[in-house]
Amino acid sequence: MTKRIFFPFRTFWLFAFLLLSVASALPARAQLLPGGNSSIGLLPSLEVDNEANLVEDPGPLFSAPYGKDHFFGNWGGAQPWLLSHGIHILADVHEELAGNFRGGRRQGVTNAGQVGVELDVDWGKLTNTDLFRNLWTHMMVVNGHGRSLSNDYIGDSIGGVQQIYGARGNVVAHLVYLYAEHSFFQNRVDISAGWIPPGSFFAASPLFCMYMNVAMCGNPAPTKYTEGSRDWPSGNLGFVVRVMPTSNTYIMGALFAVSPHAFNGGISGWAWAQDGLGKFSSPVEVGWLPKFGKDHLNGHYKAGFGYDNSSYPDLVDDIHGNAWIETGMPKRYRAGRASAWVMADQMLVRNGEGPTNGLIALAGWMWSDGHTTAMSHHIWAGMVETGARWGRPMDSVGIMYQWELMSRASTLQQEAASMAGVPFPSNQWGRVWGIQSHENIYEVFYNAHVAPGISLQPDFQYINRPGGSTVFHDAAVMGLQFNAVL
């Protein structure tokens, strides 16, 4: 287990200031797609380019190819050779240092991070035959470490300030996904099947993981904390079909096996044949991908609905309709769990080539059935901009507001526990410290590319009502994110 990192806050602030000063002094460099976050497995911005050119460029929708900005260059000539044979390999090191200098349970600093490797194979190019043309396989494994500042110091399990903490099982190689993908009819029909994170396909955006808070990255709450729609780095057995009636519209549907366990695929992610499988979740999403005006201002407008036919315990009612915490009777089970979402992002001003090189506004709403899910609503709105206007086209800056509403049933459950004098039951988000209602999250960041494949991101977050209650004072958090694409 990685030890906690402790040092004075003056040192922490000085360290962040010096790194940002060095980053600002370095010369700007050209890049393929400015303004994207290259964290492994979090939908690199190049994939939006694929999405915008699906008909002209058949290939995978949600994984490789990647950009060419690597810390070790072309790996001594090995990378071009691999790419020419259809083999795409991405290795990434990601670290997030964060400390709350006021508010929360107590002040402290933690670090959390991961090392990940992704392998995507274009079998048509590898075999040089038409038989496997447009057939890809995608695989990713990660190794996580560190501690969560939100859990250890802030007292907040709802909006974790570090995006990459958790669900990695403390194993050497946690399997995130392993699936095959085949496109047909010039990529107008795309089918994926295997071990897949539902949240990487549905209600997804490459912009989300530009932000550090995990409530947004890499898929918005609340559905990513539910059994049938868990997001990266957790997967489900299933398949996804996407059909594009036109070059800028799509409809996508899927069927996923629902795991009743705390960890899909076990702690390691490799145990696909878990017991209890037999129920299914079935999300559907429609999207419009327009380009407006002479500057081709990219937009992504999506709406979706999901249904899980499993049965889940009611957060409040027992079999007779009374509070099970007070009566001790068996919980009532409800058949089915629904969810829905609407989300959009739109480039307002273009600063150069590339689908993310400009000023972009984004917003969305997500809902889940509050009878069996502790959070019912999540609303977010923000903006991101690249540094082209001040001569640093590879840098990006962003701001985000999030409002997360806990379900009425969850609040009633906690009130019943308080009346009965028993501890608050934990929920899908983790430990509950007080009666929950809602939480507000404010975030601003500046991502600076400081060397080939290297970025540093100072990040500030203000957490209003940590943990969704008033038990702890509002928390102010300073973070520093480091990412290296090797």
pLDDT of residue 269: 74
pLDDT of residue 65: 59
> How many CB atoms neighbour CB 433 within 10 A?
17
Cα–Cα distance for residue pair 163/148, rounded to 1 Å: 10
Question: If residue 88 lies in a helix (H) or strand (E), which one and from where to where?
Answer: strand 87-104
Residue with tokens 């501890």: 423
Instruction: With beta carbons less than 8 A apart as the criterion, state whether 35 and 354 touch.
Output: yes
pLDDT in tens, 37-82: 333 433 333 333 333 333 333 344 555 656 668 899 888 889 889 9
Instruction: With beta carbons less than 8 A apart as the criterion, state whether 366 and 222 touch.
Output: yes
pLDDT of residue 463: 97
> pTM score, two decimals?
0.86
Query: SS3 of 438, please?
Result: strand
List the domains of the chain with CATH numbers. Answer: 101-485 (2.40.160.180)
Task: Flag residues of the chain having pLDDT under 50.
Answer: 1-60
Cα–Cα distance for residue pair 96/98, rounded to 1 Å: 6
User: Which residues, at least 6 apart from 455, have a Cβ–Cβ distance to it below 8 Å?
Assistant: 38, 447, 448, 449, 481, 482, 483
Tokens of 117: 């490797």
Angle (CA) 126-132-136 rounded to 5° is 70
Instruction: With beta carbons less than 8 A apart as the criterion, state whether 96 and 114 touch.
Output: no
Instruction: With beta carbons less than 8 A apart as the criterion, state whether 157 and 467 touch.
Output: yes
pLDDT of residue 76: 87
pLDDT in tens, 143-187: 888 899 999 999 999 999 998 765 565 667 888 899 999 998 888
Closest CA to 355 of 247, 205, 189: 205
pLDDT of residue 276: 67
R_g over Cα of the chain: 22
Residue with tokens 């501690």: 147
Question: If residue 418 lies in a helix (H) or strand (E), which one and from where to where?
Answer: helix 408-420
Instruction: With beta carbons less than 8 A apart as the criterion, state whether 217 and 163 touch.
Output: yes
pLDDT of residue 12: 43
State the sign of the Cα–Cα–Cα–Cα dihedral 276, 278, 279, 280.
Answer: positive
